[in-house]
A and B are shown apart, each in its own frame.
Chain A
Amino acid sequence: MSRWRRRLRTRVVASFAGGALALGVGIAGLTYASTRSFLIHQREASAVRQARANARLVRNVIRSDNPDVGRLLASLQTPASSRSLLFHDGRWSSTTLGADTDLIPQRLSRIVIAEHVAARQRVATPSGAAVIVGVPLESDDAYFEVFPFTDVTRALTILAWSLGGAALVMVAGATAVGVWGSGRVLRPLTDVGRTAATIAGGDLTARLDVGGDEDLLALALGFNSMVETLRERIERDARFASDVSHELRSPLTTLRSATQVMERRKDRLDERSRRALELLGDEVRRFERMVSDLLEISRFDAGVADLERDEVDVETLVRSSLRAEGADAPVERRGGRFAFVDNRRVERAVRNIARNARLYAGGVSRVLVSVGDDGGCTITIDDSGPGVPVAERDHIFERFARGAAGSERSSTDGSGLGLALVREHIALHGGTVHVTDAEGGGARFVIDLPGAARPPATPSLT
């Protein structure tokens, strides 16, 4: 369950982070693109405006007789970074010393100089992007001005970094919100899981807190009403079992006593009546056991069977259980003396196995009890029968299951629930029971009872 939760949570956080990333990158990209196009557009517009103004100045100057082109260019109002070039009388002059003329693409110079059309073109220069504006003058003269994008590029770089940083912060923030939010959102689910586990553990009074979030009220109320319905049904079943108990036990009590009264007078009966009475007595006893086994198992089904652990002298318990079933097999003990188990349930388990052995397997041949230090114990019961085939070993603990030996003698007084009850009694301890081969051919039933934490010790013996 925790793995499922982890995965769900991971998914929630990942979608938060993914969403934030997509949103961040989208917004940053759009902002960058629109800012960039706006800045460049502005830059080009101002470049064109300035180039035109400068071209007008240059045109006025070179119309005069002896223009000092060098001074003219130097006197032009240009931003520090831009450079002016003049094509005058078939010669290039420039504000800078370098041969900037090769900066100007041939196509641009042809359009401006040969076709007398003002034009601009973006170019890549070794020092960065730039725009060159060309304005035709009289005859074949032309004025060019190179405007580098250095400042725009720098601004865009800063903008790009800022936007990238903002996107990262956004992703980190969204991840954090996702972690926190999914934790909050999943907490009610965790509560539901924990409560469900408590209920599955047998505590039918556990409920979800409905005083919390209003959005979760429907879930809490629905869950609680489901548990309430279940509890009512379980209690109805349990009540039904106890009602059946009372209803069946009363007539059985009468039957049993009436049979006894007749059995005391059987000498006065004829042969046939005596035999009929015998059969009646046997069947009443068998019926009695079936009813009591059915009621016992219905308590397990209703979940109302509870475990009463106590310090139990297991060897003595096993001996008296065997004696009650008329078995006198040797009992050997290893380890300690006291186990912390439910006296009555262990007794029922041992008795049922012993009865099973008596009815179907020639009786109990040997018993080994070993008690661990942790309050657990293992009880191994061997019988003298033919053993249980491997294929039937699980099957025999099912209700009303009868092995090969059982079906041959189905008229014996088994209830069909004996071994199923053994498994239930042992399972209630958290233990297991299984059947295997005994040395010498019989079946071996192994009851494994785990220990449990003992309550604090009382004052010791003086």
Chain B
Amino acid sequence: MAHVLLIEDDDRIRETTRFVLEDEGFQVAEERTGEAGVDACSAHAPDCVLLDLMLPGMDGFETCRALRRTSDVPILMLTARADSYDVVAGLEAGADDYVTKPFEPDELVARVRALLRRTGRTRPEVETIVLGDLEIRPDAGVVFKAGELLSLTKTEFLLLCELAASPGRVFTRDVLLETVWGYAYAGDGKIVDTHVHRLRRKIEDDPTEPQHIVTVRGLGYRAVR
């Protein structure tokens, strides 16, 4: 049974969301503040974190960054506005995906399942992928750049593996959403763009002149061997 940590300050939303998740068989732990959420995360190591962006005190963005400092747990953020900078800022802070309030309960459950599916996935069939000065070991879940170990979140790691496994092939945002995020339906390309952006900051010498993952205008992204 998967453990979900729900960090949300609105009592009614927290309670009903817990009901929805428990109905789907998840085990839910609740916290009302970001500080308590960070503590609970390091104490209980949940499989997935649902994080409200509007929290009193330490807000969702800060909480997200704090969680990321110690953990690569998948983070799904709950935001009030889909068309604002909140989404990009949240993704930049380290979230893996987001849903907009008021969310469809079914959609929330589908996103959580997709996040968890990813987390458990490994790629034992390939031992090492070399991409320029990058050395990727999918089975061990580690990436070295010029011999130095990089710290990637699970989503960033899966994104890099997916692209690096077929250098030269162009991946559209929709394909990446499907293979990396596990969406069976059309999603938001902004998630892909923000993650590629974040990944580039970690793997590229100069993120504005990417050498490993390049943009193919109008189509998507591809890895360069």
Query: Which one, B13, B101, B104, B170, contacts A461 given CB within 8 A?
Result: B170
Q: Is there contact, CB below 8 Å, between B81 and A252?
A: no
A3 within 8 A of B: no
Q: Is there contact, CB below 8 Å, between A320 and B102?
A: no
A249 within 8 A of B: yes
Chain B residues touching A, range: 20 to 34
B56 within 8 A of A: no
Q: Is there contact, CB below 8 Å, between B101 and A253?
A: yes
Interface string of B126-142 (1 = CB under 8 A from A): 00000000000000000
A11 within 8 A of B: no
A residues within 8 A CB of B217? Answer: 311, 457-458
B16 within 8 A of A: yes
Min CB–CB distance B187 → chain A (angstroms): 10
Interface string of A86-107 (1 = CB under 8 A from B): 0000000000000000000000
Q: Is there contact, CB below 8 Å, between A253 and B102?
A: yes
Min CB–CB distance B196 → chain A (angstroms): 14
CA distance A313 to B174 in the complex (A): 11
Q: Is there contact, CB below 8 Å, between B54 and A260?
A: no
B residues within 8 A CB of A324? Answer: 185-186
- B105's closest neighbor in chain A, by CB? A260
* Secondary structure call for the B interface: loop
B residues within 8 A CB of A299? Answer: 83
Min CB–CB distance A114 → chain B (angstroms): 116
Min CB–CB distance B224 → chain A (angstroms): 8
CA distance A345 to B19 in the complex (A): 34
Interface string of B11-42 (1 = CB under 8 A from A): 01100110110010000000000000000000
Within B72-119, the residues touching A (CB, 8 Å) are: 80-81, 83-84, 101-106
CA distance A344 to B80 in the complex (A): 17
Min CB–CB distance B24 → chain A (angstroms): 9
B218 within 8 A of A: yes
CA distance A299 to B214 in the complex (A): 34
Q: Is there contact, CB below 8 Å, between B12 and A261?
A: no
Q: Is there contact, CB below 8 Å, between B81 and A245?
A: yes
Q: Is there contact, CB below 8 Å, between A257 and B80?
A: no
CA distance A310 to B218 in the complex (A): 7
Min CB–CB distance A100 → chain B (angstroms): 107
CA distance A257 to B16 in the complex (A): 6
CA distance A253 to B189 in the complex (A): 24
- A284's closest neighbor in chain B, by CB? B102
CA distance A282 to B88 in the complex (A): 32
Query: Which one, B13, B20, B168, B189, contacts A261 given CB within 8 A?
Result: B20
CA distance A462 to B216 in the complex (A): 10
B215 within 8 A of A: yes
* Contact A257:B20 (CB < 8 A) given known A245-B80, A246-B80: yes
B205 within 8 A of A: no
- A457's closest neighbor in chain B, by CB? B217
Interface string of A286-309 (1 = CB under 8 A from B): 001000000010010000000000
* Contact A242:B218 (CB < 8 A) given known A252-B101, A253-B13: no
Within A249-288, the residues touching B (CB, 8 Å) are: 249-258, 260-261, 264, 288
B residues within 8 A CB of A182? Answer: none
Chain B interfacial positions (CB closer than 8 Å to A) = 10, 12-13, 16-17, 19-20, 23, 54, 80-81, 83-84, 101-106, 168, 170, 174, 185-186, 189, 214-219
What are 11 A-B contacts defined by CB distance under 8 Å? A245-B80, A253-B10, A257-B16, A258-B19, A260-B106, A261-B16, A261-B19, A288-B102, A310-B218, A320-B186, A324-B186
Given A242-B84, A313-B218, 16 additional A-B pairs, CB 8 A: A249-B101, A250-B12, A253-B10, A253-B13, A253-B101, A253-B103, A254-B10, A257-B17, A257-B19, A258-B16, A260-B23, A261-B16, A264-B23, A296-B83, A311-B219, A458-B214
Chain A interfacial positions (CB closer than 8 Å to B) = 242, 245-246, 249-258, 260-261, 264, 288, 296, 299, 310-313, 316, 320, 323-324, 338, 343-344, 457-459, 461-462
